[in-house]
Amino acid sequence: MTDAKRAKTTDGRPSATEGVDAVVVLDYGSQYTQLIARRVRELGAYSVLLPGDADMARIEALKPKAIVLSGGPNSVHVEGAPTVPDGFFERVAETSTPVLGVCYGMQLLVQRLGGVVEAAVGKGEYGRMPVVYQSDDSLLYGKGSKAGDSEQVWMSHGDEATKLPSGFVCVGKSEAGAVVAIEDADRKLFGLQYHPEVTHSEKGTEMLRRFLFDIAGVKAEWSMQNVLDEQIAIVNEKVGKDAHVICALSGGVDSAVAATLVHKAIGDRLHCVFVDNGLLRYKEQERVMEMFKDHLHLPVDCVDHSEQMLKALAGVSDPEKKRKIIGAEFIECFKNFKSEIEKRTGVRPTFLVQGTLYPDVIESCPPPGSDQKHSHTIKSHHNVGGLPKELGFELVEPLRMLFKDEVRKLGALMDVPRTFLARHPFPGPGLGVRIVGDVTANNALDILRRADEIYINTIREFGLYDEIWQAFAYFLPVRTVGVQGDQRSHSFMIGLRAVCSSDGMTADWYPFPTEFLKTVSSRITNQVKEVNRVLYDINSKPPATIEVE
C-alpha cells in the first residue's frame, strides 16, 4: 500500500483496518492499559486505545463492537477524578455496545450508575489471590462455571464497590469478601476489580476472550500482518512522497525493526545513523557497525558524539536530570546529521524514526494533552520524556504501541535477522543509567565496561544468554574494605542484574546456578582491580525497575 491518500478510511481509521471489528480501550492511566489493548490484538481483534475522556464522537467514529475501561491510579470518589466521556452510558445503551470495566473502570461503572465505591481502609488487595465464583454459568466465567469454584487473579486496588447499581449482580468475590466481578446481562455491562490483562491472572486471557467473542460477538480477523500493513500505510501517509527521513539506529531490536519497516515504506529516502554517545559498552561501536554491515543491508552512518555527551553529564547525579541531558544530546546530534544529509542529497530531512516502544512511553513523563495523561511518571526514557521541547523533527514511531515480544514477531515477519531479534535490550542512555550518580566520576565507565564484558561473556559461556531477557552489570560508587593479596583494598562494588520478562513491564530476577555466581564474581574481582565486591540483584519489577536509574 503506497498511495498516501488511501491510508485512511472515511471514519479516520487506517485503511488496513477497513471493515475490521474494532475494540476501543479507554485509558484512565493504569500502567497496564496497553496490556489490555495488546491482549485484544493477541486474541485476533483490532484494538484502539483512546484517552478516558475522549469525545464520544471520536469513539463512535470507530464503530466499536466492544469497549473496555482501563484501571488507573485515581479514586472515583475523589473530586476531579477522571470519568467516562459525556453521553457515554446513553450512547452505549442505544447502540447496545458491551462494556467491560477493569479495576478503576469497574469502579467508574459502579459509581456513575448509582452504586457506591469507597476506600477499603486497611483492606487494600494487592497481588495474587483467588476469586470465588458466586453463581453458576455467569457470563463472565462462562458456561459450566459453578458457584464456589475459584481461580487465581491479580489485584491492585485500595477502593472497593460497597453497593452495586440496580441491574448488576455480583458473580465473583475475593477471599476477603470484596465484590470483584459484576455483570448486568441486560445492559451488557461488566466489571472486574482485578486485572485479567496481566499474566499473573491465570485465566485472564480466557476471560477477555469470552467478553470479546462470546459476549460482544467481535470477529477475530486481526494479525501481525495487519499491524505491519497498517503501520506501513501510516508511515506513507505521514511522510509523503518527497520528504527525507533520519532513523536513529542503535543495534537493538526495536530500531532495527523500525528501520526495516520504514525502509519498506519509503525506500532510499531513509538515512540511518548510529550514535557513539560515550555511554556504550565495551567495543559496542565496532561490534554494532559490523553487525549492520553483515546483516542489515541498509547504509548506516556512525557519528561520534561522546565528547559532547560526557561534557554535558559531568558532575550531574540526579537520574532524571541525567536522562533529560542524554535525550537532548541525542537530538543535538541528530540535528547535525540532518545538515549532513542535506549536503549530500540537497533535501533537508524533516522526520526522525525512533524504535520507541510502549513501555518507554508509559514510564516516561506523559506530555500534556497526550493520551497517557492520567498515569504517573516512573522514569523519562531518553526517546520520549527525555526529549527536548524544541525537537526540530516530526517523529515517526511505528512501534510506539507495541511491546518488545510483539516487535520481535513483527521483525520475524519482515525477515529481520536473528542477530538483532535475539539481542538483549540495551537502553539508549546506556551505561549512563547503569552508573549510579555522576558517570564521569571514579573512572566508572571504564570499570563498568570491563566488568560487564566479563559478566556477559560468562553468561554466554554457561549457555544462558537466550534464557535471560536482559542482563547487565551496574556500577555502585560505594567503596568497601577488602583484602586482596594480603593488602587492604578500599574499592567499588559491581551489581549484576539478570531478569526474565516478556515485555519489560514486569520482571523477575533470574535464578543463576551457584556455580555461575561463584565463577563470575571471582572473575570480576580478579580481573577488574578497582572492584572488590560483586552483588547479585534479587529484586523483581515491581518494586524495583530493571535499570538502576
Ligand X SMILES: NC(=O)CC[C@H](N)C(=O)O
> Is residue 75 close enough to count as binding ligand X by CB under 6 A?
yes
Does 254 appear as a known binding residue? yes
SS (H, E, C) 275-332: EECCCCCCCHHHHHHHHHHHHHCCCEEEEECHHHHHHHHCCCCCHHHHHHHHHHHHHH
Which of 52, 64, 105, 252 touches Mg ion by CB under 5 A?
A: 252
For position 201 contacting ligand XMP by CB under 6 A, the verdict is no
- What is the signed CA dihedral for 422, 423, 424, 430, rounded to 10 degrees? -160
| Residue 333 a catalytic site member | no
CB closer to ligand X out of 125 and 549: 125
- Closest residue to ligand X, judged by C-beta, is 71
Q: Site size for ligand X, by CB under 6 A?
A: 12
Residue 251 marked in a binding site: yes
Candidates 14, 51, 64, 71; binder of ligand X (CB under 6 A) is 71
Q: What is the CA radius of gyration of the chain?
A: 25
* Cα–Cα distance for residue pair 301/250, rounded to 1 Å: 11
Among 15, 70, 97, 470, binds ligand XMP (CB under 6 A): 470
Is 500 catalytic? The answer is no
Number of other CB atoms surrounding residue 511 within 10 Å: 9
Residues 393-432 that bind ligand ATP (CB under 6 A): 423, 425-428
Q: List CB contacts of 396: < 8 A, sequence separation 6 or more.
A: 235, 238, 239, 245, 262, 351, 352, 353, 354
Q: Is 425 in the site for ligand XMP (CB under 6 A)?
A: yes
Does position 238 interact with ligand XMP (CB under 6 A)? The reply is no
- Under rule CB under 5 A, residue 193 binds Mg ion: no
Distances (CA, A) of 246 to 61, 249, 300, 429, 493: 33, 9, 10, 19, 39
Of the candidates 343, 330, 316, 539, the residue with the CA atom closest to the CA atom of residue 435: 316
- CB nearer to ligand XMP: pick between 125 and 547: 547
Interface positions, 19-38, toward ligand X (CB under 6 A): 30
Q: Which of ligand X, ligand ATP, ligand XMP, none does 72 bind, CB closer than 5 to 8 A by kind?
A: ligand X
Binding mask 262-301 for ligand ATP (x = CB under 6 A): ------------xx-x------------------------
Q: Which of 382, 400, 449, 497 binds ligand XMP (CB under 6 A)?
A: 382
Among residues 53, 69, 58, 152, the alpha carbon closest in space to that of 104 is found at 69
Sign of CA dihedral 329, 335, 340, 344: positive
305 is catalytic: no
- Region of 59-67, 345-353, 511-519, 540-548 interacting with ligand XMP (CB under 6 A): 540-548
Which is catalytic among the residues 125, 183, 195, 406?
195
Contact status: 399 vs ligand XMP (CB under 6 A): no
Q: Identify residue 158 by its one-letter amino acid code.
A: G
Closer CB to ligand X, 74 or 255, in the complex: 74
Q: Counting contacts by CB under 6 A, is residue 159 touching ligand X?
A: yes
Q: Which three cell numbers stand for residue 405?
A: 515480544
Q: What is the DSSP letter of 503?
A: S
Q: In angstroms, rounded to a whole number, what is the distance separating the alpha carbons of residues 52 and 74?
A: 12
DSSP conformational letter for 538 = -
Catalytic residue annotation:
103, 195, 197
Tell me which residues touch ligand X (CB under 6 A). Answer: 30, 71-75, 103-104, 156-159
Residue ranges of the annotated binding site for ATP are 250-256
Q: Which positions touch Mg ion (CB under 5 A)?
A: 250, 252, 426
